[in-house]
A and B are shown apart, each in its own frame.
Chain A
Amino acid sequence: MRTASTTSTTSAPVADGTPSSASAAAKRAIRRRKVLVWAGRLGLAAFVIGGWQLFTTWKIVDPFFFGQPSGIAKRLVDYFQHGTEFGSYYSNIWTTIEEALIGFAIGTVAGVLLGVALGQSRYLADLLGPYIKIVNAIPRIVLGSIFIVAFGIGTTPKILLAAVLVFFVVFFNAFQGAREVDRNILSNAKVLGASRLQIIRHVIVPSALTWIVASLHSALGFSIVGALVGEVLGARSGLGLVITTAQNNFDPNGVFATMLTIAVLVLGAEWLMAKLEQRLLSWRPPSPSESSNII
């Protein structure tokens, strides 16, 4: 895997003829494929949304229960212009983002610290292993109820719920990553005179980072889930609260509109995460799947 990467340049199959005409043909083929893909994507969206709109207009499906795309769009504009009963829409969005981010940070730091520590110490791993498994087996959403009982309906229980969800994802990856350090690299560092702390800093953590960063993608999603579920269970502000209120008012358009907002949030977060991953793991050779995507 390591040796092959230096010479692998991606090239489309070259047709007969001069190089320049062949490359022009290849470029045309690439462009045509792009157009086809995008046409397909837009067509599919138009089919689903248009179908939804038509079916609800024709009353084959009742818009009272299932919403209507045009109604969702109107509701979204309304939210952004006039806000909700719990302050402006923006402030609700920000509440959710804040809870998710703080929870994400706490969960990640705790997960990495404990994961690396347990990956280092067999004794700690044997001691805590069964308990971590037990806690992991609990459906963690239920913890939200306990947090709300204990900490009220402020932001704290949502942050805690998000942090717990994030923690387990990151922890198991950090643990695995810290254990799977190459033995040769470890011996080499020891022979070169590295202290235990230096080994952790220069060898174990960077090695585990591949695993940790892989977990951060799903962890980010979980942090938003944690914040939202916490808000649904009881809150004064936040997108989860907007959704439950819309639900209680029999307003499916409001639910869908907020769902859409959340989807955009998550996509944005994923994009930032991908950027971060690129920075942290810039040393990695491009994976075969990534380079073949260029075609």
Chain B
Amino acid sequence: MAAVSDHTVGPTADRSARESARVEISGLTKRFLTPGGEVFTALQDVSFTVEPGQFCAVVGPTGCGKSTTLSMVSGLDRPSEGSVTVGGREVDGITDGVSFMFQADALLPWKTVLGNVLMGPIFRGVPKQEAHASARDWLRRVGLTGFEDRYPHQLSGGMRKRVAMAAALINEPKILMMDEPFGALDVQTKAIMSTELLGLWEQIRPSVIFITHDLDEAVALADRVVVMTSSPGSVKAVFDIDLPRPRGSVQEIRYESHFVELQHQIWETLREEVERAYARTAGGKA
């Protein structure tokens, strides 16, 4: 509910506004009580930092607590130990200036495309006319002009993702969290959506935490890749990706030699974890 100008972290915004988009995760531990009454440690002492305006990808084997980390950054869940600070302030309750994009559709099926994009401004009490204008503007930016009155079920998977993207970005968040947002899309659509995401991100430059298990996607999009171990999840290594920006087409960057080099280097680290996670599940069944 803070001043709206707080959320417009453009390239021209002053330093203090940008500092408020720094995410520091330190010593984050999360334990759950299993239905059997045992304590299950999902996350163990996770620490990493996302600099203001940085695109940070988190990769790791299935079930390493990536999504749990996100829900604690957004304030939907509380850590058992450790803390998350956003812009120097510790998270308790829903973090201000955050948007979330899920793997599954989080669109309201009973609202039109326009209605869905309008949710953010309406919840924040933006005047109706202003909200409508900005929703239409965002729909134009994601290339969905003319689809305002459709319902989500009338759209293709890629179009629904665009709506979700407009709905997430319309609040001009300081921090954008994405939990395998393109995981359910086919390969071609995924590449197109990733490229478009990069374009939009460059316009408003929020800090991004992007969860994926697709290493190519992580390297192509991110400035920083955090590799996590399998359960209990903890940070194994952090890689800085120094591919130049703007990166252009996600599809084409994959053929650059430096990309291949980085991808290979990270895969060496990740492979061990993936194999261990796989052996555990496979071994459990044998």
Contacts and interface: CB of A to CB of B under 8 A. Distances in A.
Interface of A: 2-3, 5-6, 182, 184-185, 187-195, 198, 202-203, 206-207, 209, 281, 283-285
B108 A190 contact: no
Main secondary structure of the interface of B (DSSP, over half): loop
A6 B150 CA distance: 12
A190 B94 contact: yes
Nearest to B153: A285
Interface string B83-110: 0000000000011101110101111111
A198 B120 CA distance: 11
Interface residues of B, number: 34
Contact of A185 (B98, B108, B122): B108
Contacts of B260: none
Interface of B: 1, 71, 74, 76, 94-96, 98-100, 102, 104-112, 119-120, 122-124, 151-157, 167, 171
Contact of A184 (B95, B104, B111, B124): B104
A73 B112 CA distance: 51
Contacts of A3: 156-157
Contacts of B96: 193
Contacts of B151: 283, 285
Given A185-B107, A192-B119, 4 more contacts: A2-B105, A193-B120, A193-B123, A206-B111
A188 B102 contact: yes
B156 A6 contact: yes
A6 B154 contact: yes
B108 A2 contact: no
Contacts of B99: 191-192
A194 B151 CA distance: 21
21 contacts: A2-B152, A184-B102, A187-B71, A187-B74, A187-B100, A187-B106, A189-B119, A189-B123, A191-B74, A191-B95, A191-B98, A192-B167, A193-B1, A193-B94, A193-B96, A193-B123, A193-B171, A198-B123, A206-B108, A206-B111, A283-B151
Contacts of A203: 108
Contact of B106 (A5, A184, A209, A283): A184
B153 A5 contact: yes
B110 A188 contact: no
Contacts of A198: 122-123
Nearest to B184: A3
A154 B151 CA distance: 48
A198 B71 CA distance: 21
A49 to B, nearest CB: 45
